[in-house]
């Protein structure tokens, strides 16, 4: 109870803070970053560099009301096919720009629903993607699977094109919760897909659970967690529902009076966290779990866990190149985001350009803070001597912020030997503590709840 009072005073139940899947965070992107930056940063990739490719498919057969992804509902395939033609032009232009000696180590298809693509679309776009750059033998190809938009033939097509990882959104199996978020998906359907993926050799399966959804109770979420565990996924993500109707208009369909208060979100999270840990899953960072033998759990044990737009990863590629509307690329020099709407994206690509609209070039200070926030989010530590090995004495620039954090959160962190360590009691405050290292953070920016 005493710790709860301290967490309350630290703002856990009242503050809105970034998720820090990038630093600087997306609200800092500006239109001073253009396609010229994107092109020059691609050309600067050195011989031997490995890249990750992210392809965004911004279409869904259904629009779930809780979802804040950039996507649009479609009733026919014609807009999807039109978009694929534009993607192919973007891929060809990128293929002509990527330097010799760069290879693809990772590919991720997200959205929206990439599984809205038909088997012939999947074969055709992969044929083009394979021309981008040589693909590493041990590459990882992951796809977000929408249970409402998948069948045996699509899974066959993805498997024959190399998919070896898959992610499925469960959110909650409770019928009342599902109706309230506009997403009905039975346990049986999910199990069928998990089994069908495993039959096709996809041995790494991630399931997403969301807490804080309308009408969710500890009982209903507890049952969902049990059902998810029974499917034995290799990885599980436990995300908090982010109610941001000012950004995602369809969330206006969510009955706000049925949403859990911050204290109940805290209870829901803790209960699910304990159940997953008791079932043998290794907690990773603030909201992911993996079986002990999974590559992410091994990366955590070896201090190689990283954070990116998909959450936690062991991806160490030099760059992440985003394809499609609204996708974000990350280069050592900074971030670039493509035009957000499919129309604006299409216009740029059809005009023979890349489609960058905004982004940010990273200063050395940004790079140091980015790495410090990442180690805090992954390992709950900011190790100033290690940062100095990586960045030299410039890393000293964040010392005043580390000391300030130590003074502000004496019950939750230790500051010894120039290392800031988050104590287990401070686990829930990870994102709040990270704001102390964020040179751009202001409370005016609209972010999601800290819990």
Residues that bind ligand SF4 (CB under 6 A): 60, 62-64, 67, 69, 71, 111-113, 146, 169, 183
Among residues 112 and 240, whose Cβ is nearest to ligand SF4?
112
Compute the least distance from the CB of residue 210 to ligand SF4, in Å.
Answer: 10
Least separation, in Å, of the C-beta of 116 and ligand SF4?
9
Residue 28 or 113 having the CB closest to ligand SF4: 113
> Of the two residues 63 and 253, which places its CB atom closer to ligand SF4 in the complex?
63
Residue 83 Cβ, how far from ligand SF4 at the closest point, in Å? 15
Residues facing 358 on adjacent strands: 337
* CB 416, min distance to ligand SF4, A: 44
Can you tell me the distance from the alpha carbon of 447 to that of 440, in angstroms, rounded to the nearest whole number? 13
Tell me, what DSSP letter sits at residue 436?
A: T
Nearer to ligand SF4, 345 or 391 (CB): 345
* Beta strand spans in 195-234 (E): 204-211
Q: Report the nearest approach of ligand SF4 to the CB of residue 64 (Å).
A: 3
Buried (b) or exposed (e) across 4-20, using 16+ Cβ within 10 A?
Answer: eebbeebbbbebebbbb
Beta bridge partners of 413: 422
CB of 158 to ligand SF4, least distance (A): 16
Tokens of 422: 């988050």
- Of 167 and 220, nearer to ligand SF4 (C-beta) is 167
Cβ atoms of residues 361 and 33 within 8 Å: yes
Residue number, 63 or 77, with CB nearest to ligand SF4: 63
Separation of alpha carbons 320 and 329, rounded Å: 5
In angstroms, what is the minimal distance from the CB of 17 to ligand SF4?
Answer: 23
* Distance (Å, whole) CA 68 – CA 71: 8
Q: Which residue is nearest to ligand SF4 (CB)?
A: 67
Of 63 and 279, the one with the shorter C-beta distance to ligand SF4 is 63
Give the residue among 149, 217, 184 at the shortest CA–CA distance from 66.
184
| Cross-strand bridge partners of residue 52 | 106, 320
Find the Cα–Cα–Cα–Cα dihedral 74, 75, 78, 80, rounded to 10°: 30
């Amino acid at each position: 109870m005493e710790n709860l009072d301290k967490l309350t005073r630290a703002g856990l139940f009242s503050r809105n803070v970034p998720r820090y899947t990038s630093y600087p965070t997306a609200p800092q992107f500006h239109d001073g970053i253009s396609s010229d930056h994107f092109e020059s940063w691609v050309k600067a990739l050195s011989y031997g560099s490995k890249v990750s490719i992210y392809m965004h498919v911004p279409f869904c057969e259904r629009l779930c009301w809780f979802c804040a992804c950039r996507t649009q509902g479609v009733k026919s395939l014609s807009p999807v096919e039109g978009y694929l033609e534009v993607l192919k032009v973007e891929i060809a232009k990128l293929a002509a720009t990527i330097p010799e000696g760069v290879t693809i180590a990772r590919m991720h298809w997200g959205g929206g629903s990439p599984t809205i693509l038909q088997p012939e679309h999947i074969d055709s776009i992969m044929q083009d993607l394979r021309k981008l750059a040589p693909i590493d033998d041990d590459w990882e190809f992951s796809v977000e699977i929408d249970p409402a938009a998948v069948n045996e033939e699509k899974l066959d097509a993805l498997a024959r094109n190399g998919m070896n990882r898959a992610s499925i959104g469960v959110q909650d199996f409770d019928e009342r919760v599902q109706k309230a978020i506009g997403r009905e998906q039975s346990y049986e359907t999910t199990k069928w897909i998990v089994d069908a993926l495993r039959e096709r050799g996809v041995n790494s399966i991630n399931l997403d659970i969301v807490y804080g959804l309308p009408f969710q109770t500890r009982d209903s979420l507890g049952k969902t967690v049990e059902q998810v565990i029974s499917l034995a996924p290799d990885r599980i993500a436990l995300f908090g529902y982010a109610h941001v109707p000012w950004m995602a208009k369809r969330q206006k369909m969510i009955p706000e009076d049925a949403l859990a208060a911050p204290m109940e979100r805290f209870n829901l999270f803790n209960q699910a966290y304990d159940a997953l840990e008791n079932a043998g899953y290794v907690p990773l960072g603030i909201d992911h779990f993996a079986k002990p033998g999974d590559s992410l759990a091994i990366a955590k044990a070896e201090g190689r866990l990283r954070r990116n737009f998909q959450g936690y990863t062991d991806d160490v590629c030099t760059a992440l190149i985003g394809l499609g509307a609204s996708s974000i690329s990350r280069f050592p020099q900074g971030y670039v985001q493509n035009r957000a709407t499919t129309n604006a994206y299409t216009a740029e690509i059809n005009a023979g350009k890349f489609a960058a609209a905004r982004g940010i070039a990273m200063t050395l200070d940004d790079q140091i803070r980015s790495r410090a926030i990442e180690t805090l989010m992954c390992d709950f530590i900011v190790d100033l001597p290690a940062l100095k090995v990586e960045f030299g004495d410039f890393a000293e620039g964040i010392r005043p912020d580390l000391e300030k954090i130590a003074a502000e959160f004496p019950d939750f962190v230790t500051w010894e030997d120039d290392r800031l360590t988050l104590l287990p009691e401070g686990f829930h405050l990870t994102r709040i503590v990270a704001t102390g290292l964020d040179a751009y953070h202001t409370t005016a920016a609209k972010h999601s709840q800290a819990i």
